[in-house]
Amino acid sequence: MASLADLFKTDKAEGLSELFVAQLKDIYWAENKLTEALPQMEAAATSEELKSGLRKHLAETEGQISRLEQVFTLIGVEAEGIKCEAMAGLVEEGQDIVSETQSGTLTRDAGIIAACQKVEHYEIASYGTLTAWAKILGYEEVSHLLHATLQEEEATDMTLTHLAETFVNASAMVE
């Protein structure tokens, strides 16, 4: 049976390595797109709690982009994005929610939270996969960087859930 080190001396690892880089470029584009969308969501939000959370997540996303740039440097690949159709669609859906709900309502906030959670779940899936692949490819430092982002995305999702469950959803129901 071949050892893990022997496996990486073959072409077998090449396919996963190429997929890893392609998915890094995908999430890099996605995070940059998100930095454009979050200020729009903040401007459309009603509650100060949601506005504050979106501002915090924007700053966090900017840090995640810097972390991704570190990852690209560590693996010797130029940091560039490839259009992420999933994020483009999720951002468009979020914009549709804003345009289809009444300004100044917690119904709109409930919709914004739903849209943001869809984004978070996409990011959680992406970073979970990338973390596992980095580890198997032998990129320990990269794996740690990606895992740190994964933890931030999970925390953001929990914060959004808490916000929705503590007052936004119930308030939206009685508007």
Residue of 31 and 6 predicted with greater confidence: 31
Structure tokens at 12: 């077998």
Classified by CATH at the fold level, domain 15-173 comes out as: Ferritin (1.20.1260)
Whether residue 14 has pLDDT greater than 90: no
- Interval 49-101: pLDDT, tens: 999 999 999 999 999 999 999 999 999 999 999 999 999 999 999 999 999 99
Please choose, from the candidates 144, 135, 31, 139, the residue with its C-alpha nearest in 3D space to the C-alpha of residue 77.
139
Scored b (16 or more CB within 10 A) or e, 131-154 reads bebbeebebeebbebbbebbebbb
Greatest extent of the chain over all pairs of C-alpha atoms, in Å: 65
Whether residue 167 has pLDDT greater than 80: yes
Asked if residue 61 lies in contact with residue 152, where contact means CB atoms within 8 angstroms, the answer is: no
pTM score of the predicted model? 0.91
Whether residue 9 has pLDDT greater than 70: no
Angle at 62 between CA 60 and CA 67, to 5 degrees: 90
Whether residue 42 has pLDDT greater than 80: yes
Q: Provide the pLDDT for residue 11.
A: 55
Asked if residue 116 lies in contact with residue 58, where contact means CB atoms within 8 angstroms, the answer is: no
